[in-house]
Chain A
C-alpha cells in the first residue's frame, strides 16, 4: 500500500479516498431517505383519525434530554477524530467510547419515549399520524443502533491494530455517519417535536 504522508491518515491511500467519497455519496442517499420520510410525515401530520394529535402526546423533557445527549455525542466524536489526527490512540478510543455511551443513553430515552406513546394510546396501528411518526423515529433509532455496534467494532479494531490507514479511515467514516444522524435528529427535533407542540 502506498501511503501519502502529506494527507491525514484517513485519506492516506487511494482506497481510503475512494471510501470517503463513496460514503459521502451514501450519505446523499440517506438524505433522500429521510427527506422522503419527512415529506410523508408532513403529509400525514394532521391525519390523526380517532387517535391523539402530536400536541397531546409529545413531552418536552425526554426529547430535550435526547437532544442534549446526541448533540454532545457529536461533539465528543469530533474530539475523537481530532485526537486521531494527533495520533493519540488512547484519547481517541476514550472519546469514541464516550460517544457510544451517550448514544446508548439516547437510545434508552427513546425506548422510554416509545413505551410512553403506546401507553397514552398512540401505538403504531392507531392512525396514519402515529404510524408515520413511529416509523420516522424508528428509522432514525435503528440507524443509531447500527451505529452503536459499528462504533464498538471500530474501537475494538483500533485497540487491536492501532491507528493504521485502514482503521483511521473507518473511524473517520464512522464519525461522518454519526454527525449525519445528529443532523437528522435536529430536523426531527425542530420539525416533528417543536412544530408538533406549538
Chain B
C-alpha cells in the first residue's frame, strides 16, 4: 500500500473529500448523460475533432469560464479566511495551496484561454480569412491547454496542490521546502499548456501576416487584430523562456540538479529572474488584447472611428518592447544594487507613457460621439478610471526606494488586481457580450447584464480598495491570518463583503446566459450592434467557411464604408472553397500528454517513457499522413447563402 500513499492528499479536510465525491459524481453524470442522449458521436465529430477556429474559440470560452469559477471559489475562500482576525476556517497549508492555485488558475488557465478564445473566434473573421494558417495545430493548442488545466486541477484531490505561490520561487519550491508533489503538478501542467500557447503564437502571427483579405494592409487592420499580432509576437519570444525555466525547475525537483538550490553552486535568485523574464511580458500578453477589445467596443458604441489609430499601433509596439525590460521590478528588495534598480525603475515608469496615450485616445474617441451605454460599453467605460488607479499605483510601486515599503504587502495585491480585473476580466466580459451574438445567434439580456456589471464594478472596488490601506499599514500578502491587535479586521471584513458582491455579479452572468438562451430573440440579423469590422459582414451564426466570397478591403473600416457609402465589399463570383479536414489526433495526443505529465509528477518512469514514445508516434503519424482537405462546392455555398443578408443584399 505504501506505493499508493503518494497519491493521498497531504492534509485531508472534509472540504477536499467533498470535492472528490463531487468530481466523481460530475464525471459519472456527464458519462451517463452523453450515453443516455446518444451524444458521443456528436461530441466526437463536431467538437473533439474539430479544427474550425470558431468552435475552438467556443471551447476555449467554456474552459475559461469553468476555470474562472474554480479560481473564483479559491478567491472567496481566501477572503472568507481573512474576513476576521485569527480565523480557523483554513489552516496555513491549505491557505498556501489556495492562493497558489488561485493565481495559477486565473492567469494561466482563465485569462490566457479567454484571450485565445476571442482571438480564435474573431481574428480570422476580422481579416477576412477562411481559418487560421494551421487549423490542425490550432486544435492541438487548445487540447494541450485543456489537458494542462485538467492536470493542474486534479492536484488538489490526488497528491496535493502546489503551495509555493503562483510564482513558485525556488528554493522555496525546491524539494527541501516543498515536499509534496504539488510543485511537480505546477511544473508539468504549465509546461503542457505553455507548449500549446507557443504553438498558438506561431499560428496567429502566420495567419495575420499571410492571410489578410486583399487590400488589408497592416495599417488597415482592425485594432483587435493589431493587438493580437503584437501579443502573439510577445508569446513567441517570452514562452520559450518559461519552457526553459520550468524545465530547469523539473530538473532540480525530479533529477536532482542544483540549479536553483542553495548548495553545490546553485543560485537561489535565478528562478525569480527567469520567471519574471517570462512573467512580465505575460502581463502584457494579457492586457494588449484587452486594449484591442476596448478599442473595438468604444469605437462601435461611440459611433466614431478610433481616435489616433497610428499612435495606438505605435504604443502597443512600444509597450511590447518595454515589457521585456522591466522584470527586475518584481524583486527590487532582493538587493541587486541601486544602479540596476534605478534602470528598471525608469523603464517601468516609462511604460506608463504609451499606456497613457491609449487612455487619452479612448477618451478622445468618445468625445462628441453618440455614446450608447450597452453592457460592453459599460465595461469599457468602467475600465478607464479603475484601470488608471491600477496604473498610478503601478508607478508608485515602480519607484524602487519606495517599493521597500510596499513590497509583498496587500498594497501590491490591490495594485495588480486593479490592473488585471478591469484590464483583462472586464475586457473579456465585454468582448464576450459583444461577440456573443456572432457566436451563438442571440443577444445576452441587457438588463441582467447591466445588473451584473454594477455588482462586479462596485463589488470589485469594495473588495480591493481597502487593501491599499491595509497594505500601507503593513499587512503582508499570503499570510493566512492576522491578530486582532493589528487592526486589519474591519477593512478585511469589508473586502469579504465586496467579494460576495463580485460573486453575485458572476452568478448573474451565469443566470443571464441561461435566461437569454431561453428567451432571447433569434432574429437579430448579422450585425446587431451596427458595428464597424469585417466579422459582422458575414452571416450569424457564421458558416464553416466564414465568407462565401473573400472581402476586398480598401480602408480601415471597410464594412462601415460598405454600410454607409455602399463601397462594394464582395466582388466576383462564388468559387469552390478549400477547407481542412477534422482530425482526432490533436485530442488523442493531448490525452497522452496528460498521462505523460501525470507520470512525471509522480516520477513513474515506465509510463513516462511509454507516453513520450507515444507522443512522438503521433507526430510521426502526422508526418506520414496525406491530408489535402476537402472542397465545398459552389452549389452548396449558394444553397447555404441564399438567406444570408449580405449576399441577398448584393443580388438585389
A interface vs B, CB < 8 Å? Answer: 1, 17-18, 21-22, 25-26, 28-30, 32-33, 36-37, 40, 43-44, 47-51, 124-129, 131-132, 135, 139, 146, 149-150, 153-154, 156-157, 166, 170
| Neighbouring A residues of B270 by C-beta, 8 Å | 40, 43-44
| Neighbouring A residues of B201 by C-beta, 8 Å | 25, 29
B160 smallest CB distance to A (angstroms): 25
Residue contact B258 to A131, C-beta cutoff 8 Å: yes
Q: Count the B residues whose beta carbon is within 8 Å of the partner chain — how many?
A: 44
Which of the residues A51, A128, A146 comes within 8 Å of B259, measured between beta carbons? Answer: A128
- Assess A25 versus B244: contact at CB under 8 Å? Given A124-B255, A128-B258, A128-B264: no
Residue contact A126 to B264, C-beta cutoff 8 Å: yes
| Neighbouring A residues of B274 by C-beta, 8 Å | 36, 40
Smallest CB-CB A-B distances: 4 pairs: A131-B257, A47-B265, A49-B264, A128-B265
A142 smallest CB distance to B (angstroms): 11
| Neighbouring A residues of B261 by C-beta, 8 Å | 128
- Assess A18 versus B210: contact at CB under 8 Å? Given A36-B245, A128-B267: yes
| Neighbouring A residues of B237 by C-beta, 8 Å | 28-29, 32
9 contacts between A and B (CB under 8 A): A29-B240, A32-B238, A33-B244, A36-B240, A124-B256, A125-B255, A135-B247, A135-B251, A149-B620
A113 smallest CB distance to B (angstroms): 18
B interface vs A, CB < 8 Å? Answer: 133-134, 198, 201-203, 205-206, 209-211, 236-241, 243-245, 247-248, 251-252, 255-259, 261, 263-267, 270, 274, 277, 616, 620, 623-624, 626, 628
| Neighbouring A residues of B239 by C-beta, 8 Å | 29
Q: Which residue of chain A lies nearest to B243 when distances are taken between CB atoms in the complex?
A: A33
- Assess A36 versus B241: contact at CB under 8 Å? Given A29-B198, A170-B623: yes
Which of the residues A29, A49, A146 comes within 8 Å of B236, measured between beta carbons? Answer: A29
- Assess A149 versus B616: contact at CB under 8 Å? Given A22-B203, A36-B274, A49-B258: yes
Q: Is the interface of B mostly helix, strand, loop or mixed?
A: helix
Q: In the complex the two chains form, what is the Cα distance from A43 to B616 in whole Å? A: 33
| Neighbouring A residues of B247 by C-beta, 8 Å | 135, 139
Residue contact B264 to A132, C-beta cutoff 8 Å: no
Most buried by B among A33, A47, A128: A128
A22-B202, A28-B236 provided; 15 other pairs, C-beta below 8 A? A25-B206, A25-B236, A33-B240, A33-B243, A36-B241, A44-B259, A124-B255, A128-B261, A128-B266, A131-B259, A132-B259, A135-B257, A149-B616, A150-B623, A153-B623
| Neighbouring A residues of B241 by C-beta, 8 Å | 32-33, 36
Q: In the complex the two chains form, what is the Cα distance from A190 to B244 in whole Å? A: 21
Which of the residues B133, B236, B265, B623 comes within 8 Å of A18, measured between beta carbons? Answer: B133
